[in-house]
């Protein structure tokens, strides 16, 4: 005969089990294998197009420029982990390229073959280089666990690609990137056009990054004077290497937003008292003529000063330039949603749950927690439309590798300005963008949030071409992390 005490304990144990068992089940079912191929997890989303045919596939690392050609630009980049000195003289702990951060500016002319030998001197987790905004061949994308293995200490990897589009780009690690990029493992890549449409006298870079203690521009903590005389035409290439959007603007002179994400805008008109949003990972080129009183390019921390600009910054402009309606529209859009071969939804949400066993509040893609996310499948030549809808409560800088996409509309309002090509798109909460791109670059391409911590929190998917496979795994012996 069970005692009252026994019954009571049994009840209590059963109640505890009823609370803990579902939690344990959710926990266990969220666990991701120690090593996996990105092509094996998640589910295929064909976007209304045909499914892939099974058959012969090309490994992604075979998608490289033809061997043999001599590079026009040849650079060695050595990655190190540990304390280093910023150009400002400040010592910081982090990751450096050739002894400092930002790493060297790689300069090329449109059409040149660029070769970069990456040497890992001392980065314990391994390192890669991703060419942010450059539509490199699939094997050169630098994503650890997808297009290559992380380069371990003492090893090296050579990247080769044609710089076929002029513009402002950057490179950064894509291995444990939330830490390595934050810590300084990045630099700028500037591709000069074969023929300059609007030549400028001064071409300046503003690589913006928050190091501990404050935001820096080109590694400098203070406002920096750039040599320029009144009347000089200036192009400032702003690169946002941080995790959230920033504003930039010109004080003292009207300016044009000349380019976004490396692509020149058509017919950019002069504007004043507005700021331009540069999303995380994004670039914006501003153009202006230095007036008698000088001009200041506001970057929200250390600024760039041209000519005889006043020492004290004015207020940040209240208005924000909207690229959706800026510049001159072409007679007919380059890409149209009506011609789409595949239409994908990329809906970003947020809910509590377990992500690889970690309890928390995580981002979702189309309702699923990573790795229960879509693999967007395409075939070469497809016109792809993607609808990125953000209902997650926070802004997400969405970055598609290997392609430039044309913004078609936002919240149902069609783009009426210059063609607005992006590789990094600021999708604010409650916004929905429709973008289109041509699947013209075979490979396996990450399509993720460039707030790199968000990748760890599940906000990552990928685009997969028919007939392309990857021999690499996330995790495993090389400790590959795809962010």
Partner 1 sequence: MRLTYRILAFVIAAEVAIQAAVMVYAVAGLGIWVQEGGVLDKAVMESDEFAFPEVVGFMLHGMNGMMVIPVIALLLLIASFFAKVPRGVVFALIVAALVALQIFLGIFGHEAAFFGMLHGLNALVLFSVAVWTGVRARRPAAEPSAAQDAYA
- Measured between alpha carbons, how far is 483 from 469 in angstroms, rounded to an integer? 19
Candidate segments 11-19, 285-293, 326-334, 335-343, binder of partner 1 by CB under 8 A: 11-19
Report the C-alpha gap between 202 and 231 in whole angstroms. 11
Q: Which range of residues in 197-205, 354-362, 408-416, 438-446 is near partner 1 by CB under 8 A?
A: 354-362
The four Cα atoms 261, 267, 268, 272 give a dihedral, to 10 degrees, of: 180
Q: Does 124 bind partner 1 (CB under 8 A)?
A: no
For partner 1, the closer CB: 175 or 390: 390
Verify binding: residue 254, partner 1, rule CB under 8 A.
Answer: no
Residue 208 touching partner 1 (CB under 8 A): yes
Classify the C-alpha dihedral 63-68-73-75 as positive or negative. Answer: positive
- List of long-range contacts for 212-218, beta carbons under 8 Å, 24+ apart: 212/92, 212/93, 213/90, 214/301, 214/302, 215/242, 215/299, 215/300, 215/301, 215/302, 216/86, 216/88, 216/301, 216/302, 217/299, 217/301, 217/302, 217/303, 217/304, 218/87, 218/102
Site track 212-241 with partner 1 (rule: CB under 8 A), x = hit? xxxx------------------------x-
By the rule CB under 8 A, 300 interacts with partner 1: yes
418-437 footprint of partner 1 as x/- string (CB under 8 A): -----------x--------
The answer to whether the Cα torsion of 271, 272, 275, 278 is positive or negative is: positive
Q: Is 25 in the site for partner 1 (CB under 8 A)?
A: no
Contact flag: residue 9 with partner 1 (CB under 8 A): yes
Tell me which of 308, 322, 394, 432 binds partner 1, using CB under 8 A: 394
Nearest distance in Å: CB 16, partner 1 = 5
Q: Is 393 in the site for partner 1 (CB under 8 A)?
A: yes
Q: Does 22 bind partner 1 (CB under 8 A)?
A: no
Neighbours of 156 (CB within 10 A): 15
Q: Does 460 bind partner 1 (CB under 8 A)?
A: no
Between 246 and 297, CB nearer to partner 1: 246
Q: Toward partner 1, which CB reaches closer, 244 or 467? A: 244
Q: Does 245 engage in binding with partner 1 (CB under 8 A)? A: yes
Please report how close the Cβ of residue 43 comes to partner 1 at its closest, in angstroms: 27
CA Rg value for the chain: 24
| Close Cβ partners of 300 (under 8 Å, ≥ 6 residues apart) | 208, 215, 246, 247, 248, 316
Rule CB under 8 A: is residue 2 a binding residue for partner 1? no
Binding to partner 1 by residue 305, rule CB under 8 A? no
281 forms part of the interface with partner 1 (CB under 8 A): no
Q: What's the closest the beta carbon of residue 323 comes to partner 1, in angstroms?
A: 18
- Please provide residue 237's backbone torsions phi and psi, each rounded to the nearest 5 degrees: -100, 105
CA distance 215 to 237: 17
Least gap, CB of 453 to partner 1 (angstroms): 7
Q: What whole-number distance in Å separates Cα of residue 359 and Cα of residue 352? A: 7
Selected binder of partner 1 within 1, 3, 19, 318 (CB under 8 A) = 19
Q: What 3-state class would DSSP assign to 15?
A: helix
- 483 is a site residue for partner 1 (CB under 8 A): no
3-state secondary structure (DSSP) of residue 388: strand
Binding of partner 1 at residue 349 (CB under 8 A)?
A: no
By CB under 8 A, the residues from 65 to 94 that bind partner 1 are none
First to last CA, the chain: 60
Question: Quick check: helix, strand or coil at residue 80?
Answer: strand
Site string for partner 1, 162-191 (x = CB under 8 A): ----------------x---x---------
Residues of this chain that bind partner 1 (CB under 8 A): 4, 8-9, 11-13, 15-16, 19-20, 178, 182, 208, 210-215, 240, 242-247, 280, 300-301, 350, 352, 359-361, 393-395, 429, 451, 453
């Amino acid at each position: 005969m069970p005692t009252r005490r026994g019954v009571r304990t049994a009840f209590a144990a059963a109640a505890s089990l009823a609370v803990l068992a579902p939690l344990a089940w959710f926990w266990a079912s969220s666990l991701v294998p120690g090593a996996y191929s990105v092509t094996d997890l998640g589910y295929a989303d064909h976007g209304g197009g045909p499914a892939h045919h099974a058959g012969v596939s090309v490994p992604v690392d075979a998608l490289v420029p033809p061997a043999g050609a001599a590079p026009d630009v040849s650079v060695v980049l050595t990655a190190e982990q540990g304390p280093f000195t910023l150009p400002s003289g400040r010592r910081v702990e982090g990751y450096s390229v050739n002894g400092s951060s930002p790493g060297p500016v790689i300069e090329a002319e449109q059409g040149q073959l660029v070769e970069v030998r990456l040497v890992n001197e001392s980065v314990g987790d391994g390192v890669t280089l991703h060419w942010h905004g450059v539509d490199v061949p699939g094997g050169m994308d630098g994503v650890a666990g997808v297009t290559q293995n992380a380069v371990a200490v003492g090893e090296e990897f050579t990247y080769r690609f044609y710089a076929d589009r002029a513009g402002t780009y950057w490179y950064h690690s894509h291995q444990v990137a939330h830490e390595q990029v934050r810590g300084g493992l990045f630099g700028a890549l500037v591709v000069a056009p074969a023929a300059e449409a609007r030549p400028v006298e001064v071409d300046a870079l503003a690589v913006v990054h928050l190091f501990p203690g404050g935001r820096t521009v080109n590694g400098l903590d203070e406002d920096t004077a750039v040599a320029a005389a009144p009347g000089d035409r200036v192009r400032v290439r702003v690169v946002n290497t941080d995790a959230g959007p920033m504003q930039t603007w010109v004080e003292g002179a009207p300016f044009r937003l000349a380019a976004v994400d490396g692509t020149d805008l058509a017919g950019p008109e002069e504007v004043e008292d507005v700021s331009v949003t540069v999303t995380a990972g994004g670039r914006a080129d501003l153009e202006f003529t230095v007036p008698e009183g000088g001009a200041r390019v506001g970057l929200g921390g250390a600024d760039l000063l041209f000519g005889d600009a006043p020492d004290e910054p004015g207020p940040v402009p209240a208005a924000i330039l909207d690229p959706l309606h800026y510049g001159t529209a072409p007679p007919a859009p380059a890409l149209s949603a009506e011609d789409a071969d595949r239409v994908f939804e990329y809906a970003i949400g947020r809910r509590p749950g377990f992500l690889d066993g970690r309890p928390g509040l995580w981002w979702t893609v189309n309702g699923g927690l990573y790795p229960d996310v879509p693999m967007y499948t395409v075939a070469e030549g497809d016109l792809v439309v993607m609808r990125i809808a953000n209902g997650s409560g926070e802004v997400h800088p969405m970055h598609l590798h290997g392609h430039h996409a044309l913004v078609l509309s936002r919240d149902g309002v069609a783009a009426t300005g210059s063609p607005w090509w992006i590789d990094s798109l600021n999708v604010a909460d409650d916004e929905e963008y429709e973008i289109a791109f041509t699947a013209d670059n075979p490979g396996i391409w990450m399509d993720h949030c460039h707030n790199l911590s968000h990748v760890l929190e599940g906000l990552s998917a990928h685009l997969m071409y028919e007939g392309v496979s990857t021999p690499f795994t996330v995790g495993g012996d090389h400790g590959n992390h795809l962010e």
